[in-house]
Amino acid sequence: MKRNKLSTHNQSLSPQRCSMATRAIHGRKLFAYRGPVASPIFQTTTYRFSNSRDAIRYAQGDPDVYVYTRYHNPTVTEVEERLALMNGTERALLFSSGMAAITCSILALVESGDEIISTAALYGGTYRFFRDILPRYGIRVRYIPPKDVSAIEKITTKRTKLVYFESPTNPTLQIVDIDALVRHTRVAQRKIGKPKAIRC
């Protein structure tokens, strides 16, 4: 099945032709005449291999072979596919916690010697990760006020790799002007001669 099509009993529909509600409810599996209205929830912890070839595929890193639900399971995969479909992206990933998502995303984008610019109003776990953990890896975090995102232009350097923000902030519920933040980030990139190097 092509990933840009919806699987149906008798036809393939382009996801763009379906409403957001249809994509959210049915994902890529739209059974026009028969089949489940909602995908089943897989409550098992382990999965059987169909044959020894599955075991070999798993050992070789094939992500489509299910073994243990903490690694991945069909229910989580279904939600990830629906989120990606709803947002028009190639892929979506679910994590067991917000900090797991934040940590994984940041460490995938920066390395020792890099800098992050962040709004100062942050969830406590994020702040402690920035304050206590990232310096151990040689990663510096510089802060701007959530209400003055233009400050990005003043503190961006050639080491800046990421602009991080949370909106609404926790627990003060301040709203970050995302459009302005991105705009000032792009201006800062041009100033330092790195038009595509900084991610928001």
Q: What is the pLDDT of residues 145-188, one digit of tens each?
A: 988 999 999 999 999 999 999 999 888 888 999 999 999 999 99
Residue 186 shares a structural domain with residue 110:
yes
Say yes or no: 169 and 143 in one domain. yes
Question: From edge to edge, which strands make up the β-sheet containing 115-119?
Answer: 140-144, 115-119, 160-164
What pLDDT sits at residue 40? 83
Please say whether the beta carbons of 161 and 110 come within 8 A.
yes
Picking from 38, 61, 87, the residue at the C-terminal end of a domain is 87
Provide the domain count of the chain: 2
- Residue by residue, pLDDT tens for the chain (200 residues) are 444 444 544 345 566 677 878 777 777 776 666 667 777 889 999 999 989 999 999 999 998 899 999 888 899 998 998 899 888 888 999 998 999 999 999 999 999 999 999 999 999 999 999 999 999 999 999 999 988 999 999 999 999 999 999 999 888 888 999 999 999 999 999 888 875 566 65
126 domain-assigned: yes
SS3 of residue 179 by DSSP: helix
CB burial of residue 127 (10 Å; 0-12, 13-18, 19+)? middle
Backbone angles phi, psi at 141, to 5 degrees: -115, 130
Residue 199 lies in a domain: no
> Which residues have a Cβ under 8 Å from the Cβ of 46 and sit 6 or more positions away?
67, 68, 69
Is residue 1 included in any domain, yes or no? no
**Nearest-angstrom CA–CA distance, 110 and 45:** 34
Same domain, 70 and 29: yes
Look up the CATH number of the domain holding residue 111.
3.40.640.10
Report the pLDDT value the prediction gives residue 200, as an integer from 0 to 100.
Answer: 58
Domain that holds residue 40: 6-87
pLDDT of residue 118: 96
User: Are residues 63 and 114 located together in one domain of the fold?
Assistant: no
Q: Number of H helices and number of E strands within the chain?
A: 7, 6
Q: What is the pLDDT of residue 2?
A: 44
Q: Residues 77, 24: one domain?
A: yes
Structure tokens at 76: 């989580």
Cis status of the peptide bond prior to 146, with omega within 30 of 0 = no
